[in-house]
């Protein structure tokens, strides 16, 4: 279970770094570094990393690349005050994966960016639109796809049509089978995912073929019959929720370490860096190639995934994919 939680934390980080919109507070050009510092402070506090450097060497933040061009073009307004509130909120945000604040991110983080482009006008990223929605056609990721700003349904009541959870009012979710807003499901009720369960519970046992049940998750020190724990920094070991082991703690079973580290010769160690042996992941911009962490390929070199490239961008080509500078969409 513990290492499956990596997907949850990675998704959270991606969601937080997608937020971003004033006077006062943090400057737009300083937000990426400040947000990464705050996020890593939080993940260290929650027991996923042993220190800030290990965290910052592992996580990737693309706010500058994705959003700054829109701010420079005056299509996106950045609220430095809200940005500071977002950073401050991360210092106290719960590590309990079943809480509202963990699932939805601090409210201030959702108010940093404000679009200036009206419905019906062209757009290239969601943040440009007043509505927050840029309706774009499918196209290659290495090109900027011009779309159209479209109205977004927000705060829809139970029974109203929806496409996403964000369309529905608080304490509601968008059921993907009938595209209708429903009340969050109480404990022991049927669910297809954690987002459908009332805060304080999670969806246990759901698959593509059958519904699961909303259940309360145990805290550290409590029994974990579903092999899951409420704390982001905990794993189910020998039937009990225990905190992840962090470097250089022992890992006699080989499964005790945080998903952002590994167990080597009975001890937890940080992910390897340039020149060290690796199994799948590396730190500080290096990537795992044939069992060794190596530096990024050069732009124009063939690649299989973004991790291999200096700008974390492997562009699709007619014959082979190659590292390239990502498109600047404004």
Give the pLDDT confidence of 312-326 residue by residue, as tens digits: 899 988 899 999 988
- Residue with more model confidence, 7 or 95: 95
Range from 20-29, 102-111, 192-201, 259-268 carrying the lowest mean pLDDT? 20-29
Choice between 137 and 1, residue whose per-residue pLDDT is larger: 137
Find the helix or strand (DSSP H, E) in which 40 lies.
helix 28-45
Burial level of 34, CB count in 10 A (0-12/13-18/19+)?
Answer: middle
Q: What is the pLDDT of residues 243-269, one digit of tens each?
A: 999 999 999 999 899 999 999 999 999
Q: How confident is the model at residue 184 (pLDDT cuts 50, 70, 90)?
A: very high
* Beta pairing partners, 134: 149
| Gap between the Cα atoms of 220 and 149, Å rounded | 46
Q: How confident is the model at residue 9 (pLDDT cuts 50, 70, 90)?
A: very low
Q: How far apart are CA 323 and CA 313, in angstroms?
A: 6
| Beta carbons of 128 and 70 less than 8 angstroms apart | yes
- 282-286: average pLDDT: 92
What are residue 197's DSSP bridge partners? 185
Q: Check whether 129 has a pLDDT greater than 80.
A: yes
Does residue 86 contact residue 112 with C-beta atoms inside 8 Å? yes
Q: Which residues pair with 264 in a beta bridge?
A: 267
Report the distance separating Cα 125 and Cα 128, nearest Å. 6
| Cis previous bond, 248, omega within 30 | yes
Q: How wide is the angle at C-alpha 120 spanned by C-alphas 115 and 122, nearest 5°? A: 65
Is the model's pLDDT at 208 over the cut of 80?
Answer: yes
Checking if the pLDDT of 139 tops 80, the result is no
CA atoms within 13 A on the CB side of 232: 27
Please give the pLDDT value at position 101: 86
* Contact between 167 and 152 (Cβ < 8 Å): yes
Closest CA to 26 of 37, 14, 10, 13: 37
Q: What is the pLDDT averaged over residues 262-286?
A: 93
End-to-end C-alpha distance for the chain, whole angstroms: 41
The pLDDT of residue 130 is above 60: yes
Q: Sort strands 240-243 and 212-215 into parallel, antiparallel or unpaired.
A: unpaired
- Least confidently predicted of 99-108, 268-277, 288-297: 99-108
Which range has the worst mean pLDDT, 11-25, 116-130, 133-147, 260-274? 11-25
Indicate the pLDDT class of residue 21, thresholds 50, 70 and 90. very low
Residue 116: band (very low, low, confident or very high) from pLDDT cuts 50, 70, 90: very high
**Beta partners for residue 251, in sequence order:** none
Backbone angles phi, psi at 307, to 5 degrees: -60, -20
The percentage of residues in the chain with a pLDDT greater than 70, rounded to a whole number, is: 91
CA distance 330 to 318: 26
Q: How many CA atoms lie within 13 A of 117 on its CB side?
A: 26
User: Quick check: 141 pLDDT over 60?
Assistant: yes
115/129 Cα distance (integer angstroms): 4
Per-residue confidence (pLDDT) for residue 18, from 0 to 100: 39
Q: What band does 142 get if pLDDT is binned at 50, 70 and 90?
A: low
Q: Report the pLDDT averaged over residues 117-124.
A: 94
Mean pLDDT, rounded, of the chain: 89
pLDDT at 40: 94
CB-based burial, 71-91: b 16+ in 10 Å, e otherwise: beeebbbbbbbbbbbbbebbe
Phi, psi of 70 (to 5 degrees): -70, -35
How does residue 13 score in pLDDT terms, banded at 50, 70 and 90? very low
Give the pLDDT confidence score for residue 137 in this predicted structure: 81
Residue 144's pLDDT is: 77
191 CB neighbour count, 10 Å cutoff: 23
Mean local confidence (pLDDT), 203-226: 96
- pLDDT of 23 above 80: no
Mean pLDDT of 93-110: 91
């Amino acid at each position: 279970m513990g290492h499956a939680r990596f997907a949850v934390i990675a998704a959270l980080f991606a969601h937080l770094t997608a937020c971003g919109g004033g006077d006062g507070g943090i400057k737009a050009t300083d937000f990426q570094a400040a947000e990464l510092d705050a996020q890593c402070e939080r993940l260290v506090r929650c027991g996923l990393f042993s220190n800030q450097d290990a965290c910052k060497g592992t996580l990737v933040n693309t706010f500058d690349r994705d959003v700054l061009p829109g701010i420079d073009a005056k299509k996106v307004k950045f609220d430095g005050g809200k940005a500071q509130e977002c950073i401050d909120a991360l210092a106290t945000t719960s590590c309990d994966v079943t809480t509202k604040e963990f699932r939805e991110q601090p409210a201030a983080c959702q108010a940093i960016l404000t679009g200036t482009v009206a419905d019906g006008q062209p757009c290239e990223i969601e943040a440009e639109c007043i509505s927050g929605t840029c309706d774009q056609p499918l196209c290659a990721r290495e090109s900027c796809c011009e779309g159209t700003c479209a109205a977004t349904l927000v705060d829809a009541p139970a029974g109203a049509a929806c496409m996403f959870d964000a369309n529905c009012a608080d304490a509601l979710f968008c059921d993907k089978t009938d595209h209708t807003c429903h009340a969050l499901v109480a404990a022991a009720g049927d669910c297809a995912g954690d987002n459908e369960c009332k805060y304080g519970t999670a969806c246990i046992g759901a698959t593509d073929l059958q519904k699961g049940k909303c259940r309360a998750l145990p805290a550290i020190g409590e029994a974990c019959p579903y092999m899951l724990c409420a704390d982001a920094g905990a794993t189910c070991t020998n039937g009990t929720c225990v905190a992840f082991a962090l470097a250089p703690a022992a890992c006699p079973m080989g499964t005790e370490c945080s998903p952002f580290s590994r167990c080597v010769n009975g001890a937890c160690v940080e992910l390897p860096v340039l020149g060290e042996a690796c199994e799948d992941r590396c730190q500080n911009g290096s990537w795992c190639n044939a069992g060794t962490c190596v530096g990024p390929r050069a732009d124009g070199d063939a690649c299989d995934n973004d991790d291999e490239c200096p700008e974390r961008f492997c562009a699709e080509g007619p014959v082979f994919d190659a590292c390239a500078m990502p498109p600047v969409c404004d």
